[in-house]
């Protein structure tokens, strides 16, 4: 009974970023590379990249290099890991460039992120990073 009571308590949730509007996953949905937006909710796994969030799930393999952004899935969500060249070839669009999807910070001290929470369960944490040019990719 104790586990059931704990399970029914409010806990952190997971879902997907809805603001800023143009995340890498959303770009792939809009370009029809990922067929359903709900798949973006599943970009979670033990990534083994940050000790602040505790141990990874026992028995859960870490995603391979080059497949980390979609947590190693083997479906159409793997497009978020693709290079500019791979997406240009698939879309037959020579103008595609991931940097156009970045969120420029340019001196901003705060970045507001909104989530669409879709399931209630414990979450180890959320990470994002900015590159040396002051751009954030989500």
On whether residue 2 sits in a domain, the answer given is no
Render pLDDT for 84-122 as a digit per residue (tens, 0 to 9).
999 999 999 999 998 887 777 767 667 777 877 777 666
- Average pLDDT, rounded, for the chain: 73
Mean pLDDT confidence for 68-91: 90
H or E element in which residue 87 lies? helix 84-91
Q: How many domains does the chain have?
A: 1
Tokens found for residue 132: 């040396």
On whether residue 104 sits in a domain, the answer given is yes
Grouping H, G, I as helix, E, B as strand and the rest as coil, residue 122 is coil
Sheet holding 129-130, edge to edge: 103-104, 135-137, 129-130
Render pLDDT for 28-47 as a digit per residue (tens, 0 to 9).
999 999 999 888 877 765 55
Q: Whole-angstrom Cα distance, residue 113 to residue 110? A: 10
Find the domain containing 111 and state its range: 18-137
Q: Is the whole model's pTM more than 0.85, yes or no?
A: no
Tokens found for residue 22: 């143009």
């Amino acid at each position: 009974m104790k586990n059931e009571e704990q399970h029914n308590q409010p806990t952190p949730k997971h879902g997907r970023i809805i603001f800023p509007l143009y995340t890498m996953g959303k770009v792939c949905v809009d370009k029809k590379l990922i067929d359903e937006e709900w798949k973006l909710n599943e970009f979670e796994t033990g990534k083994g990249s940050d000790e602040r969030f505790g141990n990874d799930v026992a028995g859960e393999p870490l995603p391979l290099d080059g497949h980390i952004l979609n947590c190693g899935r083997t479906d159409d969500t793997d497009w978020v890991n693709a290079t500019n060249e791979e997406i240009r070839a698939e879309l037959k669009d020579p103008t595609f460039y991931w940097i156009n999807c970045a969120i420029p910070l340019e001196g901003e001290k705060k970045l507001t992120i909104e989530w669409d929470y879709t399931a209630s369960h414990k979450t180890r944490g959320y990470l994002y990073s900015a590159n040396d040019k002051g751009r954030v990719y989500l």
